[in-house]
Structure 1
């Protein structure tokens, strides 16, 4: 009888051979590095396609100049990056601009003098402070605009002359700094109602929240400090952080470690360590440092040098203003686009918006900024 294998034994033999010929994944696979601050290659660089040569900014190139209604006090990009909104103080309206075509999509009358804005619900609602001066009949409110219908859906009472408005990271709260009431107004972002006023100090203006939402920081422009607000403990002021005189605008780094504060009177940008609440760096900017916006990788700050009629670019590691670019008269608002490629600036006179393309160093370049 000729030797051979039964169908069952042949199947078993094939399974054994396949197992022996397949390498074990545990013996050949490279170990996966654990994410850490000292191992930057453990996660992809989110800005690699924007700054493929290391991200050194060498210049800002003006690509568009827009005319907007009178007195563009501030501007801010919506979270999705598709539109930019300007608050036109003297025009008594806000303007929505297409970020790609630069077309003015809508002018929305707000019934007062719009100062600053912020957004909640991913940009569905725009919160706009109305100046409300000491004139007879003037009221100080924050209006809420549905950015899809361009309709005002709420008018929330604030203190005297609300200026900067800021949203908490979890979207629950909106704060407004009341310039003449020495307070902030806390608003419920879900109910679109006022919660309370919190005393903070003389002439509050700039506001930012820590990334975890537990604390908020308010520039006491009439003094020399940041007021620290404990959000979780009833929105109470708990202490002050020394800054130097006349702080106007405050930004926080994405990782929450650092605060950057523009000191208007001295024309200085300071860096504060949040853990120790101490100043660890200073950069001389231009005359009257006002609104400030960080680059998307937190390596640079764009600072409106109000009286010098230019925009400064500050290296935040060196704490040094590298160069400036000319604007129209009195640059007052600035916002960085989410793609990291453009920065927009509003100018009081003659009521214009400048769009600058951010230029980065070419491969092999020394990275020396353009003058």
Structure 2
């Protein structure tokens, strides 16, 4: 296996942490990032990490003002080097790099369009560090997937009940796909032919007595849902690895007279041919972000409510180790969100 460094965001701790994957040793930390860092996007050409910030304080759906910047970190010196304004948009959550056009796309929850929930997708020119596109999605867009040619995106709008289809070239929303119950973080096949959206949202599931969990498969040539894959428990995220396997971060909970109790989750690996289970691995609580190594040999699950990362050896089909990132709720924070965004650095 390649000896890479894993970068991990602690949202509630407002830190960026670095781990040697050979030993599991923590090798560095950037403290006092701008509030509520969320996701990471790594650019290997410049060795820069882009850190999204959604809110000035809080969490979805309870938060303060939307943040208006994306932080830029030098992965070699491990120092904050710049902050990119996202104006007119705010509340940047997820980011995807379009290397062919030297653009960083980010989904935002606010500030695009004239409607009440004015989110969408922005494009940042990485040469000028300026926003050159702001495309409305008609809701507070949380995550999104992009086709490999950089022409089209599909947004996760959480509880909105629809997925927005975004034409990134002509800078407009071109349609909606109904998804009752909402959705969580999607994945997309390596060739861009299929997008995978887990449904319903965790909030919807917690409020129902017997929620029906599934993956909705969208054919990107027709923009239609062509298959529904049933699940036995909910998924917070779907990541598609280089072998086109579907890696699901799944949550578990139980209800009793005092409310909802979150339990440890799992990382489920499905075959791309028939969506049958290949393997399953225990994780800590709420694996919100899932990532894999380029060689397809490792997978990572950031367990946000535990503040840990589960490292999985996909070749030997075992949990390799658990990294403690930020396991104690910081003073003044409403909840522990100790592990979120992930990125691999060679």
Bin for the TM-score computed over the shorter chain: 0.7 to 0.9
CA–CA separation in structure 2 for the residues paired with 1:241 and 1:137: 33
Which residue is 2:303 aligned to? 305
Matches of residues 171-320 of structure 1 in structure 2 within 5 Å?
171-222=150-201, 223-232=212-221, 234-256=222-244, 258-265=245-252, 266-320=264-318
Q: Which structure 2 segments of 5+ residues have no match?
A: 5-20, 57-66, 202-211, 253-263, 327-335
2:181 touches 2:199 (CA, 8 Å); kept in 1? yes
CA–CA separation in structure 2 for the residues paired with 1:240 and 1:281: 20
Deviation, 1:314, is 1.2
Structure 1 or 2: larger strand share? 2
Which residue is 2:47 aligned to? 82
Matches of residues 152-163 of structure 1 in structure 2 within 5 Å?
152-163=131-142
CA–CA separation in structure 2 for the residues paired with 1:309 and 1:254: 27
Deviation, 1:59, is 2.7
CA–CA separation in structure 1 for the residues paired with 2:240 and 2:102: 23
Aligned residue for 1:180, secondary structure, equals: helix
What is the TM-score when the length of structure 1 is the normalising length?
0.70
Matches of residues 44-123 of structure 1 in structure 2 within 5 Å?
58-67=22-31, 68-78=33-43, 80=45, 82-91=47-56, 92=67, 93-110=69-86, 111-122=89-100
Deviation, 1:300, is 1.3
Aligned-residue CA RMSD in angstroms?
Answer: 2.4
Which residue is 1:24 aligned to? none
Structure 1's 49 and 155: CA in aligned 2 closer, same or farther, altered over 3 A? Answer: closer
Aligned residue for 2:24, secondary structure, equals: strand
What is the TM-score when the length of structure 2 is the normalising length?
0.75
Count of matched residue pairs: 283
2:279 touches 2:317 (CA, 8 Å); kept in 1? yes
Q: Which structure 1 segments of 5+ residues have no match?
A: 1-46, 51-56, 340-371
Structure 1's 78 and 244: CA in aligned 2 closer, same or farther, altered over 3 A? Answer: farther
2:41 touches 2:97 (CA, 8 Å); kept in 1? no
Aligned residue for 1:285, secondary structure, equals: strand
Deviations 1:108-166 (A, max 9, x none): 23242111111224362122122249xx9552222221122111112111142211122
Deviation, 1:48, is 7.2
CA–CA separation in structure 1 for the residues paired with 2:38 and 2:273: 33
1:79 touches 1:122 (CA, 8 Å); kept in 2? no
2:30 touches 2:79 (CA, 8 Å); kept in 1? no
